Amino acid sequence: MKRHTRLLFEILILGFVLAAIGGLYWINLVYSRQQPGGNDFLARWMGARYWLIEGISPYDEQVSLATQIAIYGRPADRTKGEDIAHFVYPLPVMIFIAPFAFFEYTVARALWMTFLELCVIGLAFLSFRLSAWQPSPLKLGLFVLVFTLGYYSVRAIILGQYAVVNALLILFSLLAIRRKSDFVAGFLIALSLCKPQMVFLFVPFVLIWAWSQRRWDIFGGFFGGGGLILAISLMFLPDWPIQMLRQVMDYPAYTRESSPISILASLTPGVKRQIEWILYSGLLGYLLLEWGLAWKKEYAHFLWVALLTLLVSNLVAYRTATTHYLVLYPALALIFRVLEERWRDLGRGLVWIVMLVWFIGSWLLFFSTVQGNQESDVMFLPFPFLTLLGLWWIRWWQVRPPVTELQVIRNKVD
């Protein structure tokens, strides 16, 4: 009887989950019909559709032109800074984008938004797991809700930003390294190169640390699994790296530099370049020092430096976006865990205060600074720099080696 009851319970849970996902898709479909947009996804969807259905390279100029016409009703005007909507992603990103190309755009966008929403929920849950923080089920549910409805998550979902998927791949890779599923971790890191501006510092750090730990399977997954994906993509479109590079070289012609360091240096326009040089070199030099200190260290130290590396990547990348900040959620969860561990009841109260200020403050800042539908540069600044301060504050408790009982006895004897 118990077995049948459990089976019935599991069927009901599955039915509830499927109904919830179906309801989420329906809401997204209604929204997509009433609010055209999702331009970040549109460019990728258009490239996949032209390639899979019409056999035209996603990097072809006519694909970009078709996307521009879908957005503006005409070719984009570069002189006005309008997005010329190149595909501009490595071809292996088709692993994630291609299935949506077989639906008309409104349906595809609703499906993609639903997929991203599930990814954000997974990202929130797994951030707590990665940080080894175990709040009560009620608190966990509330925090996942806040993460999911936060400004950075909602913006990423509405724009259809692939950064959500990439952030989840990065998080999975860190969990796989902790579980010593090294080949899987290396393969996931290789896949994360589909958005290289998010991982251009993270990838070399992981490989350097893996070398120090003699964890060669990470290299096997990265070069073996990643190499296989690359070889398959080259079989379909042999010169796609060159075609993509042309689009990348064209990128600065219609986009502006948007790294938080550059935005910060713009406060002193007379010496902007000098300030940028000082900040970039100082931050990267400090990061290299932390990489050296992590050599041969255990996972706890590695994790802290890995999260720092992801944060610095967002600070110094020539062209970043606030949607990339979803990759900072694990760092936020780690900071909250240490707050509670160190300050107990006071720490628990502070966690709630910080979370509410972060959630409400980011939305208030957006609504008070937005110009039309254009996000203000100020949105790039508070979250990463406050997270950096938080990581510095917890560094001592996260990276110091645990004191064993034998060491305690030896200290007493000495």
- 135, 147 in Cβ contact below 8 A? no
List pLDDT tens digits, range 295-322: 999 999 999 999 999 999 999 988 888 9
Q: From its phi and psi, is residue 404 left (phi > 0), alpha (psi between -120 and 50) or beta?
A: beta
106-110 CB contacts, 8 Å cutoff, 24+ apart: 106/29, 106/32, 106/33, 107/29, 107/32, 108/41, 108/45, 109/28, 109/32, 109/38, 109/41, 109/42, 109/45, 109/160, 110/25, 110/28, 110/29, 110/31, 110/32
CA dist., res. 75 & res. 257, Å (int): 23
**Which two tokens mark 326?**
């979803």
The pLDDT assigned to 255 comes to: 65
Question: Which amino acid, residue 161?
Answer: Q
List pLDDT tens digits, range 355-375: 999 999 999 999 999 887 788
The pLDDT assigned to 80 comes to: 74
Q: Does residue 403 have a pLDDT over 50?
A: no
The average pLDDT across 342-351 equals: 88
Which residues, at least 6 apart from 337, have a Cβ–Cβ distance to it below 8 Å? 131, 132, 133
* CA-wise closest residue to 170 among 300, 42, 324: 324
Q: Does residue 401 have a pLDDT over 60?
A: no
CA dist., res. 231 & res. 222, Å (int): 13
Residue recorded with tokens 């609703």: 110
